[in-house]
Amino acid sequence: MQQLHVERNGSRQQKNQIGTQQYEKPQLDLEAVDRQLADAHATEIVEWAVQTFGNGLVMSSSFGIQSAVMLHMVTSIVPNIPVIWVDTGYLPPETYKFAEEITQRLQLNLKVYQSGISPARMEALYGRLWEQNDVEAFNRYDQIRKVEPMQRALQELKATASLAGLRADQTDHRKTLRFVNLQSGRYKLLPILKWNSRDIYQYLTAHDLPYHPLFDQGYVTVGDWHSSRPLTFADSSSRDTRFRGLKQECGLHLPQTKGEAESLNSSTL
């Protein structure tokens, strides 16, 4: 992969050893970076991210169906990277057990974050939002239980960039993304953006990694127990199995400001 040069404070920053320096957030030309990463392997993108952002780099994981791929790939390169897991308090028992298994196996530096509002308090104030069959109710739920804890995690960990396992073939929004994006003032890097299900299977098999246990019960994507279900022949896509088919995204990977949304819509991310 062609070496990338990153401008910081008007001077050219030389590459450093992985994970040895806390960098200030660089100002990246996202279009230029995306072009230079276009033919890079996913592991090369991870290596570039670590060298570019130093200790400002974190990763997030939902411990979903295929989460073992990114967790294994990234920690093989930088073992002690902080792994943010937003625990909504409504995950299936299988997810908690899977998370424990992968955490122990890969010796993850796991950082668990939860909403400041307990599930009982939220339900008392707003009702069982997921039963209201309304997109706005789902959005409020996601803001309380997912988005706010994630933003707090990034702030407390002083993250300048994060790695995530999003793929372009998952949702309409994700088709618009690039390898390196800007969200809420931080960079988000997507090393396996162009991968497909076959790539995932081959990686899991090559490294003897497990799928989430609900995969064997017909789940192709899994989130909270109340808004996930197995895939059926009536579903047009895997995301129809989430949020009662009312929406595709939980909010963690969507623009957080009007300016970001406008940038996304103009394909500058």
128, part of any domain: yes
267, part of any domain: no
Q: 49 Cβ partners below 8 Å, 6+ apart?
A: 57, 161, 163, 189, 191
* pLDDT at residue 239, rounded to an integer: 54
269, part of any domain: no
172, part of any domain: yes
Strand-pair category, 57-60 with 82-86: parallel
**Looking at residue 93, which CATH number applies to its domain?**
3.40.50.620
Number of domains in the chain: 1
268, part of any domain: no
* pLDDT tens profile 118-129: 999 999 999 999
Specify the higher pLDDT residue, 20 or 38. 38
* pLDDT at residue 242, rounded to an integer: 62
2, part of any domain: no
Q: Kindly give the residue spans of alpha helices, DSSP state H, lying in 166-255.
A: 172-175, 197-206
pTM (predicted TM-score): 0.79
Q: Just list the catalytic residues.
A: 250
* pLDDT tens profile 86-110: 999 999 999 999 999 999 999 999 9
67, part of any domain: yes
Q: Is the pLDDT of residue 28 over 60?
A: yes
Residue % of the chain over a pLDDT of 90: 58
Residue 63 has what DSSP assignment? -
CB atoms within 10 A of CB 4: 15
Q: Is the pLDDT of residue 259 over 90?
A: no
* pLDDT tens profile 193-222: 999 989 999 999 999 999 999 999 988 888
81, part of any domain: yes
Domain hosting residue 155, numbered range: 7-261
Q: How confident is the model at residue 175 (pLDDT cuts 50, 70, 90)?
A: confident
Q: Is the pLDDT of residue 15 over 70?
A: no
